[in-house]
Structure 1
């Protein structure tokens, strides 16, 4: 029979591996009697582990949630995965950088040398944004508040600070609080967003979490609606593209470039490149507006032939006038209308 301390660690490891353990099966796995299992469970309780007994045909035990976090056991794979997650936590936009660093130091200190070497080989550098465009961080308490509302399916009320480049300091008007049914909390490009159904606007919206100030208490519980398309990742990507729920860019066009297809394809992510010859290819791209699409084609240093549609040709003409004005030092007037933008622009 193993020593009591070793047996307690083995028992704790088993209790963490699955939710319910019949007492007889625990005794068999530990090679002890059911009476010894009961005594060891009592010892774990004295150490602060919330082990509860459940009734049933066999009866058994489970490791439940308690009021404090007791020491935990991790196998090699779990320990490395935890260390990797902690090391990359600073890149998520959540305000947990210092807590993650302290947690990583705690985990690393008790790791065996073989595992410590593995995580020390992983070096992650968080690239900070320019000083004039600081990357917004979201406090962990706000993320847990939003996540709790999503999980509880409770209507959430909050004040929302919109993007207002024209407004000066202190000139932002007071807006009524938003009332939404929160459905998903997602991260995109280092920022956190809340996907919710806006009750006052009767439509789905994507809110930047760093602009949300929750109001308490939360509202009544609701029955979740079906998200358009059913896939939150596709939904958020479509909103940022300015699409109308189709999953495609609202503006899409084709050009012919005097460049090899192999060269163009290296710099094209979601476009389609068709080889037309040794130094000639057809490129199909999408964007949220026609000028933005024309500018995407223009980044290739090559002769461009517009295939279509006509709106793309108009966008090239518009950019040509703007660039000509810029080179002459006289900014072009702001557009007052036209069809430069597609059905919807990107989410602010």
Structure 2
């Protein structure tokens, strides 16, 4: 690799490692002059990286968030992992609900085109076929634009206006609180401003209107949390007391993937690969065993009985492995 290109990649890697970098420290780490640092920063800006100059006695630079996606820097393992993940998403129904299957296929093609030949060969040797669980009905697909609009309104805490299929002529005005999955479908949990009551709306029937309205102060859901509220609504009761044992955990898995295997659970998206799961069972060990079937790290939110059940199963499994 030419010396200048290698230096630019090293500079970019340093800028990604911490928030602020004094110019003198960057020059010392790269073994170049402060003047060369300024020139290299200008080259990265020309490539689309939004690098801010920091004023002050020391001066420095910061890699800021931009309005356009600049060229990304991946090592070989990250590039292969990204390509495999996109291939799985493009062939699996787990991404169908959020409407990203086709986009994943296009992204895979784009990533593959810019990969070096050695990496293209590695990902081409990985054959992935997604076999879906049989179902009596196809899960409705939510347009990716609608999905992002709903997520943004929930995150920003802004009043949302939308047209609702089979919901009459007038647009609905709601305060969106949560975007959750239940039985393979996506739902918006919101306070309906016109009806002055809580409602659940199927995301695949929503057509958002722009712009969004003013910010609002979140309300407390009946039952205290979204899991209790959603479970009660779909069971037609005022409380969720169907299961004697009910617990809450956080899984390092996408909400769309977890929701496909939790018939009576409530899944709430916390991030691209992180979700909250509230699930019930007839016993605490049974609940812990059910959650443990997910191949992911688990964080127990509560209650203490569920945490104790995980500890008992851990000892039991350790003893079985020792024999």
Band of TM-score, shorter chain: 0.5 to 0.7
Structure 2 SS opposite 1:147: helix
2:138 and 2:196 map into 1 onto residues whose CA distance is 33
The 5 A counterparts of 1:171-190 are 174-190=168-184
Contact kept? 1:128, 1:135, Cα under 8 Å: no
CA distance in 2, matches of 1:118, 1:187: 32
Give the alignment partner of residue 218 of structure 1, picking from 202, 212, 218: 212
Deviation at 1:178, TM superposition (A): 1.9
Asked whether the 8 Å contact 2:22–2:60 carries over to 1, the reply is yes
SS of residue paired to 1:194:
strand
Give the one of 135, 148, 153 matched to 2:152: 148
- CA drift at 1:243: 5.0
RMSD, aligned CA: 3.6
Is residue 98 from structure 1 mapped to residue 102 from structure 2 by the alignment?
A: yes
Deviation at 1:102, TM superposition (A): 1.8
- The answer for the alignment partner of 2:305 in structure 1 is none
Q: How does 1:49-88 map to 2 (within 5 A)?
A: 49-76=49-76, 78-88=78-88
Provide the residue aligned with 1:301 in structure 2. Answer: none
- State how far apart, in whole Å, the 1-side matches of 2:223 and 2:233 are: 12
Is the contact between residue 159 and residue 178 of structure 1 (CA under 8 Å) also seen in structure 2? yes
Helix, strand or coil: the match of 2:189? strand
Tell whether the 8 Å contact from 1:241 to 1:250 is kept in structure 2 after alignment: no
Change (3 A) 1:251 1:39: closer
Change in CA separation of 1:9 and 1:142 when aligned onto 2, cut-off 3 Å: same
Q: Post-superposition shift, 1:70?
A: 1.8
Assess if the C-alpha contact under 8 Å between 1:84 and 1:119 holds in 2: no
TM-score relative to the length of structure 1: 0.59
Q: Any unmatched runs of 5+ in structure 1?
A: 163-172, 253-268, 275-282, 284-348
After superposition, the C-alpha distances for 1:221-240 in whole angstroms (9 at most, x for unaligned) are 21222445665456545544
The alpha-carbon deviation at position 11 of structure 1 amounts to 1.3
Give the TM-score taking structure 2 as reference length.
0.62
CA contact (8 A) 1:153 1:182 kept: yes
Higher percent of residues as helix? 2
Aligned pair partner of 1:127 in 125, 132, 137: 132
Residue deviations 1:287-309 (CA, integer Å, cap 9, x gap): xxxxxxxxxxxxxxxxxxxxxxx
Q: Give how far 1:125 is off.
A: 1.1
Separation in 2, partners of 1:243, 1:73:
51
Counting matched residue pairs gives 246
Change in Cα spacing, 1:115 to 1:24, as seen in structure 2 (3 Å) is farther
Deviation per residue, 1:88-114 (Å, 9 max, x gap): 435221222222112123324516747
Structure 2: how far apart are the matches of 1:112 and 1:100? 21
Structure 2: runs of 5 or more not aligned = 246-278, 287-323
| CA distance 1:7–1:121, change in 2 (3 Å) | same
Residues 31-40 or 229-238, more deviating:
229-238
**Structure-2 separation of matches of 1:107 and 1:80:** 10
| C-alpha deviation, 1:180, in angstroms | 0.8
SS at match of 1:44: helix
Give the Å deviation of 1:212. 0.6
Partners of 2:78 and 2:283 lie apart in 1 by 42
Query: What is the SS of the residue equivalent to 1:222?
Result: coil
Structure 1 residues 219 and 14 mapped into 2: Cα distance closer, same or farther (>3 Å)? same
- Report the secondary structure of 1:138's partner residue: coil
What is the alpha-carbon distance in structure 2 between the residues aligned to residue 115 and residue 236 of structure 1? 45
Change (3 A) 1:61 1:112: farther
Give the alignment of 1:242-257 within 5 angstroms.
242=236, 244-246=238-240, 248-249=241-242
CA distance in 2: counterparts of 1:112 and 1:237, whole angstroms: 51
Distance (Å, rounded) in 1 between the aligned partners of 2:129 and 2:19? 35
